[in-house]
């Protein structure tokens, strides 16, 4: 036999630290969380089995053009590098600034806390979280995420892809519409940014609008937007208020 996969090693590690039934439950919940964040068809995650890692890999391969084996390898890597704490999928070695965000069941919506840029939050976002629910997930970090420059890069998120700005401040995973992002941002539970949220009420437009229509609506709100962006620039790069 060949070398064990990272997924197998992760499961063996779980089995070594817990009773078999506890290890199986945790591994299943962890994969269920990854499934929720992957944007597969609704209902797929409800009957989760280890074999569903292939379904998730197929989904990513389909929307990104990535090789199926490479997509699976990435999912197995996540299994080995993250652990489920309540409804938080937490990268090992990364702390959760506000433990209350992890309270609840993963099925109610997954919160992902990590340090890498591939699927999770970059450290430059300084403690940001990913909110996931249904088929859409998004992360909000440094407040420069609200600038038009960053938002222009989010079109791919509507097709099930991941995108971000150069500071690692905005991510969109799954079938996200532009209309989802303000709500997800306000649910980020970062008290340091609450004042900015209250001062920056940008009209985003209907989620069914095309990107060009949405961008035009934002430009039409130019005066309000300029005041807002002034605050955002002060926090650019992940700085605190």
Same-domain status, 130 and 209:
yes
pLDDT in tens, the chain (241 residues): 344 444 444 444 433 444 444 444 555 555 565 555 544 555 666 655 555 566 656 655 554 555 667 656 655 665 666 677 776 667 677 666 556 666 765 544 455 555 432 233 322 233 334 443 344 444 443 323 333 333 333 333 333 333 333 333 344 444 444 455 445 544 443 333 343 333 333 333 334 444 455 445 545 545 544 544 444 444 333 333 2
Backbone angles phi, psi at 129, to 5 degrees: -125, 160
CA atoms within 13 A on the CB side of 81: 17
- Decide the pairing of beta strands 110-113 and 88-91: parallel
Give the model's pLDDT for residue 85: 73
Q: What pLDDT is stored for residue 69 in this prediction?
A: 72
Q: Return the structure tokens found at 9.
A: 């090693």
Q: Judge if 127 and 231 occupy the same domain.
A: yes
98 and 204 housed in the same domain: yes
Question: Which residue segment(s) compose the domain that 56 sits in?
Answer: 1-81
Tell which residue, 55, 62, 6, has the closest CA to residue 32: 55
Total number of domains in the chain: 2
- What is the 3 state secondary structure string of 183-199? HHHHCCCCHHHHHHHHH
Which of 81, 100, 133 is the last residue before a domain boundary? 81
Q: Let me know whether 121 and 177 are in one domain.
A: yes
Residue 21 is predicted with a pLDDT of 46
CB-based contact 169:140 (threshold 8 Å):
yes
Say whether both 160 and 123 belong to one domain: yes
Q: Are residues 99 and 64 in the same domain?
A: no
Query: Within this chain, do residues 90 and 76 fall inside the same structural domain, yes or no?
Result: no
Query: Are residues 57 and 105 located together in one domain of the fold?
Result: no
pLDDT of residue 109: 46
């Amino acid at each position: 036999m060949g070398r064990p996969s990272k997924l197998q090693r992760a499961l063996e590690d779980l089995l070594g630290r817990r009773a078999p039934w506890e290890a199986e439950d945790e591994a299943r919940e962890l994969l269920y969380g990854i499934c929720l964040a992957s944007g597969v068809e609704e209902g797929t995650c409800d009957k989760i089995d280890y074999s569903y890692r292939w379904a998730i890999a197929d989904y990513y391969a389909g929307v990104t053009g990535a090789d199926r084996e490479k997509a699976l390898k990435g999912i197995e890597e996540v299994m080995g590098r993250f652990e489920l704490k309540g409804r938080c999928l937490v990268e090992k070695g990364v702390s959760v600034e506000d433990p209350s965000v992890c309270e609840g069941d993963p099925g109610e919506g997954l919160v992902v806390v990590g340090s890498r840029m591939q699927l999770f939050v970059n450290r430059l976002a300084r403690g940001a979280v990913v909110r996931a629910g249904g088929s859409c997930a998004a992360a909000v970090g440094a407040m420069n995420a609200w600038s038009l420059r960053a938002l222009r890069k989010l079109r791919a998120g509507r097709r099930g892809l991941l995108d971000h700005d150069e500071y690692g401040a905005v991510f969109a995973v799954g079938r996200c519409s532009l209309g989802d992002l303000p709500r997800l941002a306000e649910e980020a539970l970062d008290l340091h940014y609450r004042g900015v949220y209250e001062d920056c009420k940008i009209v985003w437009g209907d989620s069914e609008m095309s990107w060009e229509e949405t961008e035009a609506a934002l430009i039409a709100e130019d005066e309000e937007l300029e005041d807002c962006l002034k605050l955002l620039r002060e926090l650019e790069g992940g700085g605190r208020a």
